[in-house]
Structure formats: structure tokens, C-alpha cells
Amino acid sequence: MKALNSLLTARTATVLLSAGSAALLCMGAALAATPAASPAPDLAKGQATAAVCSACHTIDGSRGSPANPILAGQHPEYLVKQLQEFKAGKRKNAIMAGFAATLSEDDMRNVAAFYASKQAKPGAAKDKDLAALGEKIYRGGIADRNIPACAGCHSPTGAGIPAQYPRVGGQHGDYTEAQLLAFRSGARGNSTQMMQIAAKMNDREIKAVSDYINGLR
């Protein structure tokens, strides 16, 4: 009987050791499969990259030419996504494609973090009546054409939702209008959601929303 008990104890120990070894192997494999955390963005390196961007976007990404977007205060995840898509050809722009082609992933993260750290200067609507129409669309959408309120994704203040939807408040009206027209025509095709929304809007509605956004804060 003692011999049988000893044999069972030995077998149990072997099973437990085997199970423990298997668990350790699985744990090790899981840890090995976990990607290493990316290093924190380097703002100094980002600023150095931004010096090249300053010709179009100003040194701090603030209120430069209305034809070019304001980058100051924009969510870094959104900026990285746009640079990646310019580089991949998913978003079309000859100047930006050439610039993005020279950037590594770290370069993109660094320059995006640099611009995100800046405070954008406020803008103002140009046409009071047009902006009033834009406010109605931005806050309430256009129900009879199933056009959703812009505020649902970009927030009532235009601050957007980090990593999902960009900040639009205070953006140049000319730039916003050009992008909505590009979404509508298909010239800009890197957001199915925005293409579907813009496709339902007429020129006046696009201009109105863009003017309202210009002064949104």
C-alpha cells in the first residue's frame, strides 16, 4: 500500500511539474509575442522636422495660409495617420507625398507630438448668416437627408475625439471647404464616412459648415 501511495505521489508530482512547465512556456510565448512599447516622442526632433514644414504650416503649425491646415493642437494620432496615408498613396497630395516619403515612423510620431503640444490661435467666421446655417448643420445635421450632426464625432466645441476624429474647431474655413469638396468628389478617399456625408451636401451647406468651423472654439 505504501509503495502504491508513493507511486501515485510521484506521478502527481510529475503531472504538476509538466503542467507548470507548459504554463511557463505559454507565458513566455505570450510575452515574446507582446510588442515592445514605443519610446516616448522626442519633441526636439519633432521641432527639427517641423522646420521643413514651416514654409506651408508656419513654425508652430498655427494660422498660416488658409489653403493649408492648422496643425497646432491637432491630435497626434490623427497627424500620424495622415502622414502614413500620404506616404502610402492612400491620400493624394504631391507635396505631402514627397515629404512623407522621407519620414520614418518615429519621425512621424515626433513631429505629430510637436504640433500637438502647441496651442492654436482662434479664428472667426466671415459671414454671419452663412455661419448661422453652418451652426445648425454642425449641431443638428440635416434630418431629411440623413446627414448627421458634425458635433457627434467632432464634439460641440470642435475638439474631436483623440485617436478617432480630428480637432476641427478654428480650422481655416477655406481648407475645410476644400477637403469637404474633395471628399464629395472622391479626390480625397481616405475616409469612407466623410465621403458618404459630403456626398449628400450641396455647395452652400459645405461653405456654411466650413465658415462656422472657422470660428468654432
Does residue 121 form part of some domain?
no
Mean pLDDT estimate for the chain: 88
Q: 112 and 170 in one domain?
A: no
Query: Residue 18 has what pLDDT?
Result: 45
Range of the domain at 59: 43-116
Query: Residue 39 has what pLDDT?
Result: 84
168 burial (CB, 10 Å; 0-12 / 13-18 / 19+) is: buried
Q: 87 and 153 in one domain?
A: no
Does residue 122 form part of some domain?
no
| pLDDT per residue as tens digits for the range 139-198 | 999 999 999 999 999 999 999 999 899 999 999 999 999 999 999 999 999 999 999 999
Q: 51 and 22 in one domain?
A: no
| Count of domains observed in the chain | 3
Interval 5-30 mean pLDDT = 42
Q: 166 and 99 in one domain?
A: no
| pLDDT per residue as tens digits for the range 104-115 | 999 999 999 999
pLDDT tops 70 at residue 16? no
Q: 164 and 95 in one domain?
A: no
pLDDT tops 80 at residue 27? no
Q: Under the phi-then-psi rule, with left for phi > 0, alpha for psi from -120 to 50, and beta for the rest, what region is 155?
A: left
Does residue 123 form part of some domain?
no
Does residue 166 form part of some domain?
yes
Longest dimension (CA), the chain: 98
32 near 139, Cβ under 8 Å?
Answer: no
Query: Residue 188 has what pLDDT?
Result: 98
Q: Which of 116, 136, 155 is the last residue of a domain?
A: 116
Q: 99 and 62 in one domain?
A: yes
Does residue 82 form part of some domain?
yes
Q: 149 and 97 in one domain?
A: no
Q: Which of 63, 90, 116 is the last residue of a domain?
A: 116
| pLDDT per residue as tens digits for the range 94-135 | 999 999 999 999 999 999 999 999 998 899 999 999 999 999
